[in-house]
Structure 1
Amino acid sequence: MQLKDKVAIITGSASGIGREIALEYAREGAKVVIADLSLEAAAATAKEITEAGGTAMPVAMNVTDEAQVDAGVAAVVAAYGGVDILISNAGIQIISPIVDFKLDDWKKLLAIHLDGAFLTTRACMRAMIQGGRGGTVLYMGSVHSHEASPLKAPYVAAKHGLIGLAKVVAKEGAKDKIRANVICPGFVRTPLVDKQIPEQAKAFGISEAEVIKNVMLKDTVDGEFTTTQDVAQTAIFLAAFPSNALTGQSITVSHGWHMQ
């Protein structure tokens, strides 16, 4: 098992990509913390893991709430003795042209993606440094960490910002053996993406099938969606990597959309 006894906090992991990573991490021997806005949903995922023989605990965590983030990480340290891995995965999507975008919606999206990444990073880095055993910070970016699309101004800005944050964490954390990288998936069929399909069809005046074929998947090599399993396996590889040779990087998982 590649992550045996590693303590991993995964935000937004009661559903979607975060949930898949949590399940795979547990299979690889990690002690998984399901940190989610909904404690009930987090508890359900944690129960699924423990019933399958893994180790997991649920934590209620609004990633934009400083006190709740710090308290959640402290509870993990008390329960498991430290933190080895943070996956900053919590996120939302709001679709609108810039000229119609509400400031409150802009602030809400940036707060979840960037404030949440900062607050969880700060709390986990403190725990990693105190524990003295190093650690890994993984941010859930997107192909939109490198590319732009219409209707997604704050999302694209936030995902670009995560790359900058990861680079700073990589430099500041190196002396304490803390690595940081960004996973950049293409479109993954999660509720977040499914919600966008009719929204974009309406905004562009095209069919939902055209959104999938000509907007979401047009630049892939095979017309296929990235899967949650694709992302989970990348998250395992990056967390298990043994040295600072791989830090401060963005890894694109997208069926060839945005080749670097």
Structure 2
Amino acid sequence: MRLQDKVAVITGAASGIGLEIARTFAREGAKIVIADLNQAGADAAAASLDPTGKRALGVAMDVTDEAQVDAGMARAAAAFGRIDILVSNAGIQTVAPVEQFEFAKWKQLLSIHLDGAFLTTRAALHTMYKQGSGSIIYMGSVHSKEASALKAPYVTAKHGLIGLAKVVAKEGAAHGVRANVICPGFVRTPLVEKQIPEQAKELGISEEDVVKKVMLKETVDGEFTTVEDVAQAALFFASFESNALTGQSLVVSHGWFMQ
């Protein structure tokens, strides 16, 4: 198994992409910490991976709350003795044109994506540096590379994650810590499902046209990226055996963005 007895903390992992990454890592032998805003959801997800509780743990974590992050990461390290992998996956989406965007919603989105990534990274590094190894994986987006209308804070945040990963890769190298970014295209999660009617309303088009002419227009095959696709990319980063692959971003988007 590619992650035998590695300890992985995955934020926003009670559902969607995070939960699929957790399942994939568990199948490869990892011990999993499900960190989520919803304690009940985190516990249920952890129990679905391992009902005995010996190899999976649910932790309540608001990634924008410094004390909660530090406590949750400390609990993970205490439970399993180390932290080998952090997947910074928690996120939200809000769509509106820039001139109408509420400042409070702008700050909320940036806080979850950027403050959350920083706080969980800092806490994970305290453990990873002591043990001399680790892999940090940020959940970026094709919007880490290019822009779409109506998504100013999301595009800003996702671009920012690439910058953070590069700095962590530079600083972490001396401690055996890698940092990389996964950049998925549209994945049909509740986050994306919510956007379809919102964008249809803002753009004055049908929901079908949002899917075909906005979301999947630039793909090579008109297909959504799947949670399984993203989980395999996460496994690739997490299981890479040297520091050769660090500070990089991998686009998983059915050709929507090519580099």
The TM-score range, normalised by the shorter chain, is over 0.9
Equivalents in 2 of 1:152, 1:145: separation in Å? 12
**Deviation per CA, 1:108-155, whole angstroms, max 9, x where unpaired?**
0000000000000000011101223x0000000000000100000000
Map of 2:82 onto structure 1: 82
* Count of aligned pairs: 259
When normalised by structure 2's length, the TM-score is 0.99
Map of 2:39 onto structure 1: 39
Equivalents in 2 of 1:251, 1:188: separation in Å? 15
The answer to whether 1:150 aligns with 2:137 is no
Equivalents in 1 of 2:233, 2:53: separation in Å? 23
The answer to whether 1:141 aligns with 2:140 is yes
Instruction: Report the residue type matching 2:123 in the other structure.
Output: A
Instruction: Report the residue type matching 1:169 in the other structure.
Output: V
Map of 1:202 onto structure 2: 201
Contact map agreement 1:7 1:84 (CA 8 A) in 2: yes
Instruction: Report the residue type matching 1:63 in the other structure.
Output: V
1:15-164 matches, cutoff 5 A: 15-51=15-51, 55-132=55-132, 134-164=133-163
Structure 1: unaligned runs, 5 residues or longer: none
**Deviation per CA, 1:146-194, whole angstroms, max 9, x where unpaired?**
0100000000000000000000000000000000000000000000000
Equivalents in 1 of 2:53, 2:220: separation in Å? 38
Q: CA deviation at 1:51?
A: 3.5
Contact map agreement 2:34 2:59 (CA 8 A) in 1: yes
**Deviation per CA, 1:28-52, whole angstroms, max 9, x where unpaired?**
1000000000000000000100049
Equivalents in 2 of 1:2, 1:130: separation in Å? 23
Counting aligned pairs with the same residue, the percent is: 68
Equivalents in 2 of 1:80, 1:50: separation in Å? 14
SS of the equivalent of 1:183 reads strand
When normalised by structure 1's length, the TM-score is 0.98
Equivalents in 2 of 1:146, 1:212: separation in Å? 20
Contact map agreement 1:136 1:180 (CA 8 A) in 2: yes
Map of 1:216 onto structure 2: 215
Map of 1:249 onto structure 2: 248
Q: CA deviation at 1:54?
A: 7.8
SS of the equivalent of 1:151 reads coil
Please identify, of 50-59 and 150-159, the stretch whose mean Cα deviation from structure 2 is larger.
50-59
Question: What is the Cα-based RMSD across aligned positions, in Å?
Answer: 1.1
Contact map agreement 1:26 1:54 (CA 8 A) in 2: no
**Deviation per CA, 1:75-133, whole angstroms, max 9, x where unpaired?**
1111111100000000000010000001100000000000000000000011101223x
Equivalents in 1 of 2:76, 2:226: separation in Å? 29
Q: CA deviation at 1:53?
A: 9.5
Equivalents in 1 of 2:180, 2:84: separation in Å? 14
